[in-house]
Structure 1
Amino acid sequence: MDLYEKLVSGEEKLSLVGLGYVGMPIAVAFARKIKVVGFDLSKEKIDLYKSGVDPTNEVGAEVIKNTSVEFTADADKLKEAKFHIVAVPTPVNDDHTPDLSPVEGASRLLGQNLTKGSIVVFESTVYPGVTEEICVPILEKESGLKCGVDFKIGYSPERINPGDKVHRLETIVKIVSGMDEETLDTIAKVYELVVEAGVYRAESIKVAEAAKVIENSQRDINIAFMNELSIIFHRMGIDTKAVLEAAGTKWNFLKFFPGLVGGHCIGVDPYYLTYKAEQLGYHSQIILSGRRINDDMGKYVAESLVKNLIKTNVPVKGARVAILGFTFKENCPDTRNTKVIDIYKELEEYGITPIVVDPAADSGEAKRLYGIDFHAMEEIRNMDAVIIAVAHSQFLELSKERIAGFFHEDHEQKVLMDLKGLFDKRDYSDGEFLYWRL
């Protein structure tokens, strides 16, 4: 009986190392089919899961309450599993170089609890070569086992889209790879238990690593192009959204839109690719240019707000500006690597007081990471400007009258910055508002 059959029969367990926005939904999905140990270093997070709370909002509290995942912060429990999936974050340092400490730490911890006959699959986004050249030596050193003899490895890049209820683990084709054909076959069959859309067998681990890192690099470059167009069209006095809607009538026009690019994938992964390229003597042209544009968009929004305050004769220094939305994307509580913080800090540089409202965000996380306290929507009044920074569904419910009530009553024209174009521009073109969108 091979490992796949032992997993299906309940004789062996699967472990999930890292239970965040990516790892937890994977653990829950597999638990519907096989025995799962869900491990995370954060005892606080584990206690929430055990009490039936889903801090990520990815699957919901009801699912967490009823799942059979064995949630634990005890690394010794990993010894009970034979198929391990590592899904820890891979951020970048302040100088934009890869920070591999989470995946290295997970490899050390897993290595200390690895048993013979195991398969280890990494899902964290990395540059080609990390799994075999960095993770494997750590696993071997900590376990005393030999890769290829005592345990096998694979790589299957995560494609979960936080906050997206349509594109889920089950509905997205899963890339899988293994160090040899036998391992690849086992990994593919295991993932086929939960991935209804099927799997794609990459020819090597490095190919799978590269495929993942270019997916987000491509998206980053396309959004950078849209952001650059937005800057150009604003100078021309043309509405960017109207241009994109017109151009979008052509069958092969790619429908991307300008915006803030944060989070742990699109704003991070390109740096992994360019870092490896520079190690090999090639300096990126297009990828890094796109990154520079996207990284500067918070500053551009703040500068545009200041210009609009001046246009409406509102003193810049001492102005009070409401920022609606702080997460890195809509309908998701995650504030890590949000680019809204760039707007916040830039406004402070001008002597402006930003006031943040986000009913969807993890307020504790925002306080811990950025020192920011959120305000309730009811507290937003007597504002000099309003920025709708994130397209949360709650904000779509705001009426024009409600938004008007956020402003100081003395202002003849109200500066409204609707970054994602949530509202119909025509509704705000009657002179009461100075309406601006990317």
Structure 2
Amino acid sequence: MSLEVVNGIKAKKDYVAVVGLGYVGLPIAVAFAEKFKTLGFDINQEKIDTYKQGIDPTHEIGDEKIQSSTLEFTTDPARLQAAKMIIIAVPTPINGDKTPDLSPVVDASQIVGKNLLKGSIVVFESTVYPGVTEDICIPILEAESGLCCGQDFKVGYSPERINPGDKVHRLDNITKIVSGIDEETLEEIAAMYEQIIHAGVYKAPSIKVAEAAKLSENAQRDINIAFMNELAMAFDRMGINTKDVIDAMNTKWNALGFYPGLVGGHCIGIDPYYFIYQAEVLGYHSEIIAAGRKVNDGMATFIAHKVIKKMIQAGKNINESNIYVMGISFKEDCPDMRNSKAVELCKQLTGYGITVKVVDPVVDKTEYKRELNQELVEIKAVSNADCLIFLVGHQQFKDLGVAEIKRMFRKNENQSKHVIIDIKNVIESKELEAEIYSYWNL
């Protein structure tokens, strides 16, 4: 096997390029830049300017690493012509009706196609349903370039597996699934990723298998969390603490260790819909995956109703209460607010005429204000609270002592209780006085 593309990149004769520099594309581009001449392309000029200033708003790489990286940032699509391997890592969201929105990957394919040269390899990392790479993306590349796939250029698929905010499972220590349109392409792509993935690669037998694997692993996680959410809603009616049940259950060797919670973000909360959509197109109606999505999508409503119920039971005048939502991103220690169910919960409470203030030490203040048209509250500025709603388990929240949390509440001048809604079990409830605090966890 000649590995012509890889050898050209290793010799620094050619570039590797990454199209789409978000939570997935940026770490990949920086990793390749440590060894090869690498281009980082994005259509967002503001984002590129931020990176050029040495600032990493994703927190995935860190400012210091951005500043020291040799990665060449650009918004000029013509520069892609210098690359012999182009990796497309753009998001694949869903429409309002839960159907796949392929416009980002279509647009990226058009840009790449217009600048694609003979002998190049295009690798898609965006999460899609089986068939998108070969049936939608390849024809676009061919139409825009005037080249023939398989003869003039090659294509592969390698699903991203980055877990934003996770400091343990990183790009280099997660096995990378790779696939290609033929054996030669597969070997080229595998050899390229092996340069940056210490955990090694897994060679899938086809592009469709690799596409399906990504959807399946996220749908599996979605279903497991949905099961725990269903248990939590049932146990709440039974007067049983779900965490106590999970702690007992997890003493068995084959317990899976899942916990209930809000399921949002750009992977688990979206990818199952790609499976559901394509299955429906082919005449199969998903039962289990669709049911899991229904349960998880309903959790924001369940928690919103629980907040209102607990406030009323505590004797609070909801419309005059200070309610703080602790955490607005879709997961702990990650600034990403895309498809955040915490945002949805805030909107539901606001819909009832309830005013909420949001505290999140991780989310970018400017982005938050642009998205929700209000200011974030600093942790130290929380005061005279009637209710604290811990939606996201940021480490800074976990580091708060019970004394600090108590300080956040207003002095108990009447007989009403202070309310704590603890979705992520941030607080040790045993240290709170039952006669003063009404504590509820999921």
TM-score, length-scaled by structure 1: 0.98
| Equivalent position amino acid for 1:314 in 2 | K
Query: 1:237-268 deviations in whole A, cap 9, x for unaligned?
Result: 11000000101111111110000001000000
1:437 to 419, 433, 441: 441
What's the CA shift for 1:329?
A: 0.6
- Distance across 2 between alignment mates of 1:113 and 1:240: 55
Paired residues of 1:27 and 1:36 also in contact (CA < 8 A): yes
1:301 to 300, 303, 311: 303
Q: Could you tell me which residue of structure 2 aligns to residue 414 of structure 1? A: 418
Structure 1 unaligned residues grouped into runs of 5+: none
CA distance in 2, matches of 1:316, 1:355: 13
Residue 73, structure 1, aligned to residue 75, structure 2: yes
Deviations 1:114-170 (A, max 9, x none): 000000000000000000000011101111111011100000000011111111110
Amino acid across the alignment from 1:405: R
Q: What is the aligned partner in structure 1 of residue 190 from structure 2?
A: 188
Q: Report the counterpart of residue 229 of structure 2 in structure 1.
A: 227
C-alpha deviation, 1:68, in angstroms: 0.7
> In the TM superposition, what whole-angstrom CA distance separates every residue of 1:377-406 from its partner, at most 9, and x where no partner exists?
233222221101110111112122221222
Cα drift, residue 429 of structure 1: 5.0
State whether residues 335 and 365 of structure 1, in contact with CA within 8 Å, keep that contact through their aligned partners in structure 2.
Answer: no
Q: Which residue of 1 is the match for residue 218 of structure 2?
A: 216
Structure 1 runs of 4+ aligned residues shifted over 3 Å read: none
Counterpart residue identity of residue 370, structure 1 = L
The residue type equivalent to 2:134 in the other structure is E
- In the other structure, the counterpart of 1:95 is 97
Work out the CA distance in 2 between the residues paired with 1:212 and 1:75. 28
**1:314-393 correspondence runs (5 A):** 314-393=316-395
- Separation in 2, partners of 1:150, 1:429: 72
The one of 248, 273, 276 equivalent to 1:274 is 276
Moved more, 144-153 or 346-355: 346-355
> What is the CA-CA distance between 1:190 and the residue it aligns to?
0.3
Alpha-carbon offset, residue 88 of structure 1: 0.2
Gapped regions of structure 2 (runs ≥ 5) = none
**1:291 equivalenced with 2:293 (yes/no):** yes
Q: Please, which of 41, 44, 68 is the counterpart of residue 42 of structure 1?
A: 44
Number of positions where the alignment pairs a residue of Structure 1 with one of Structure 2: 438
Distance apart, 1:352 and its partner CA = 1.3
The separation in 1 between residues aligned to 2:219 and 2:255, in whole angstroms, is: 19
User: What's the counterpart of residue 197 of structure 1?
Assistant: 199
Give me the TM-score of the superposition, normalised by structure 2: 0.97
- Tell me by how many angstroms 1:411 deviates: 5.1
AA matched with 1:98: P
Q: Secondary structure at the match of 2:318?
A: coil
Q: Is the 8 A contact 1:317 1:350 kept in 2?
A: no
Separation in structure 2 between the aligned mates of residue 326 and residue 226 of structure 1, nearest angstrom: 22
The aligned counterpart of 2:15 is 13
Alpha-carbon distance between aligned partners in 2 of 1:307 and 1:406, rounded to the nearest angstrom: 21
RMSD: 1.1
Letter in 2 for 1:427: E
Secondary structure in 1 aligned to 2:252? Answer: coil
Matched residues in 2 for 1:344 and 1:10: separation? 50
Q: Report the 3-state secondary structure (helix = DSSP H, G, I; strand = E; otherwise coil) of the residue aligned with 2:319.
A: coil
> What is aligned with 2:167?
165
Partners of 2:319 and 2:274 in 1: how far apart?
40
